[in-house]
Amino acid sequence: MKELVIDLEAEKAEILKRYRALLRASKSTLQKGDKRMIRKAFEIAVESHKDMRRKSGEPYIYHPIAVAQIAAEEIGLGTTSIVCALLHDVVEDTDVTLDDIEREFGKKVAKIIDGLTKISGVFDTNSSLQAENFRKMLLTLADDVRVILIKLADRLHNMRTMEFMPRDKQLKLSSETVYLYAPLAHRLGLYAIKSELEDLSMKYMERETYQFIKKKLNEKKAEREKFIADFIGPVKKVLEEQGLHADIFGRPKSIHSIWNKMKKKAIPFEEVYDLFAIRVILDSPPEQEKSDSWKAYSIVTDLYRPNPDRLRDWISSPKANGYESLHTTVMGPRGQWVEVQIRTKRMNEIAEKGFAAHWKYKESSSDSGLDQWINKVRELLRNPDSNALDFLDDFKMNLFSDEIFIFTPKGALIQLPSNATALDFAFEIHSDVGATCIGAKVNHKLVPLSYNLQNGDQVEIITSSKQTPKEDWLNFVVTAKAKAKIKSSLKEEKRRIAEDGKEILERKLKSLKITYNTDNIQKLTFYFKLPTSQDLFYNVAKGIIDLKDLKEYQASERVIENKPQDKIEQEQVQSLLRNIKAKDSDILLIGEDMQKIDYKLASCCNPIPGDDVFGFITVNEGIKIHRTNCPNAAKLMANYGYRIVKARWTTQHELAFLTGLRIKGIDDVGLINKLTTVISNDFKVNMRSITVDSDNGIFEGTIMVYVNDTEHLDNLIKKLKQVKGITSVTRFDSASASFEKAS
């Protein structure tokens, strides 16, 4: 093998060049003595990482410099963060200790680096405790938000430079990114970073779709730019006449958001009209921001007719993450809808860089949405008995939410996620108000607890001392606070009932001459397939388990495995893996050599040969095969990384796999006959079912067919599209896209 020759001098020069670019990026925030501190951090980082290289063969030091550059340039952070970004890996990867850092740079830097080191293992490949670690990471967020911001910069750079990593690592990092980091960036108002993280994840998780949309966007680029120029010209002219200074440009939508729109509306790329948004950025002094924005809105809507339903005013009431802007959709010069966003320079910086920009503008930060958000996270973290995975789901639920504003009877404003119910509002006011809530008056009309609140509602809560939280409340509350409080009340109630059950069980076992001891309680719990002994006591108290059942237990001589079913251990995983008789030990071959392995195809995504797939180890059903773009893949990879097995198909044609096609077209006599002829006669494909619906001359149908692999399916789709009157044929996942249980 040819020895790789490394030009150390050239590398040294490149490191210095990158360091100087970093200094230029941080220029605006530098105070006296800051440059010296950054230089010191840079030198320690260079020295500590001098013998390390990245997967691409580049010197490792390129990575910390790049993370610091993102923190300074794209998030707008200051010197402390730049120092921490440069040093973010030294404590973990080298001999430098936290005490050394504190001695050189002080307590604050040491604390942030401690936070970053703690969370660097959040997504360690072998860890099944991602959720627990994620919770630790958020605890450090509650101390200093810069920990998360630097972590986001670190993840962004890793995603940008991921092409040299093995495929399974790429998929794993991408699914975590889309599952946690992108929503986190969104919630902190870092829209530019959120979009890029989503696009980069998609680039690896859905390669073909990503490349297809990218190619399409490039093909239409010149035409789009001409349209934007024609649209902007008249607006610019009138703004200048009115004495308003503004930058106007067209900004393409991200590939990920275009793909989302195609999926959501089930339309092809050609029918996505708003591929870009026009942005008007005004240069206005603070006291004129609002009036100038509305003046610009008035100019745009005089020139182009607005869609009255599409005005969004986030200037009068900004989003919880600080976002301020006016959005409207207008009819452009060529008869197509165009989204226009109007905001000032300050608002734009906050929209792009989130709260970091807030600090720069020093707006009464104690009242900023960021502080409210961090307080909510703190409150969630204090809840001691919330299970870590529930916590993760609750937290994510709050990450994704958009806000509505609700008024109390006295006119105070309370912010809640959209879809919040009257009961969420009650818990938001106080846990006791929530726990004893029996109903509410919305705008003076009586409504049930599950009533979905609308923006601007005024709500009065009605309570009763006899009310206690109910299990079914969990089905309709949406805020993490309400969920956590209800769960802990129900646990308390269940614990009380279980105490009684314990005494009853003791008496019943005595009558059967069975000793009441830990071992027997454990065996009984497994016999009745219950997760804990508390559930056993609870079921006894409720009469679900009675003396007859206990006698059956006594009679049965079944050996009960002394391990909880829902805890799949590392050893089990390893032993299952060892059974895989594959040519390549760490890849699961699906197909011919598979008699030895118990595997099933997941019903949530119906994989067929040719699809990109992975195996997921379950406790009771062996290995389940999922498509990598399955709706549940991100959740499984992010939460149970250690249970994922690489998998690929071996060539095989004798087996048939069920998949579904959705067909749309113009209803025509004999259309179904033509379709079934193509499927059965031309392709010799078996159909399991066909359902058809015709409405005002439009034909929609779903057909379940058996195919051999993706190539077979693609050919069938191509052939069906040629049938006269058919407008679209698409493959769909099965309706049961419910989350794969981790059992």
Fill in the DSSP letter of residue 179. I
**Distance set, CA 700 to CA 665, 697, 734 (Å):** 7, 10, 17
- Residues ≥6 apart with Cβ < 8 Å to 402: 319, 417, 418
Write b or e for each residue in 650-670: b if 16 or more Cβ atoms lie within 10 A of its Cβ, otherwise e: eeeeeeebbbbbebebebeee
HSE-CB for 649 with a 13 A CA cutoff: 20
State the Cα–Cα distance between residues 223 and 640, nearest whole angstrom. 46
Q: Spell out the residues 6+ positions from residue 531 whose beta carbon is closer than 8 angstroms to its own.
A: 525, 564, 566
State the Cα–Cα distance between residues 578 and 585, nearest whole angstrom: 8
Q: Which amino acid is at 67?
A: V
Residues in Cβ contact with 478 at an 8 Å cutoff, skipping those fewer than 6 apart: 397, 401, 417, 419, 420, 421, 424
Contact 185, 197 (CB under 8 A): yes
549 is catalytic: no
φ and ψ at residue 407, rounded to 5 degrees:
-100, 140
- DSSP type of residue 643: G
Neighbours of 335 (CB within 10 A): 6
* 93, 100, 549, 667: the active-site residue: 93
CB 620 within 8 A of CB 614: no
Q: Which residue is catalytic, options 92, 99, 219, 492?
A: 92
DSSP letter for 290, please: H
* Torsion region of 258: left, alpha or beta (phi above 0 gives left; psi -120 to 50 gives alpha): alpha
Q: Which amino acid is at 213?
A: I
Phi and psi based region of residue 243 (left: phi greater than 0; alpha: psi -120 to 50; beta: remaining): left
Between CA 683 and CA 690 the distance in angstroms is 16
Would residue 208 show up in a list of annotated catalytic residues for this protein? no
* Contact criterion met (CB below 8 Å) for 500 and 536: no
| Helices assigned H by DSSP within 383-478 | 388-400, 422-429, 431-435
Q: What is the largest CA-CA distance in the chain?
A: 97
Q: Residue 348 corresponds to which tokens in the numbers above?
A: 């734009």
**CA 167 to CA 611: how far, in whole Å?**
15
What whole-number distance in Å separates Cα of residue 495 and Cα of residue 542? 12
Residue 552, C-beta contacts closer than 8 angstroms, at least 6 positions apart: none
Check the CA dihedral 410-414-416-418 and report its sign: positive
Residue with tokens 């020093």: 362
As annotated, the active-site residues are 92-93
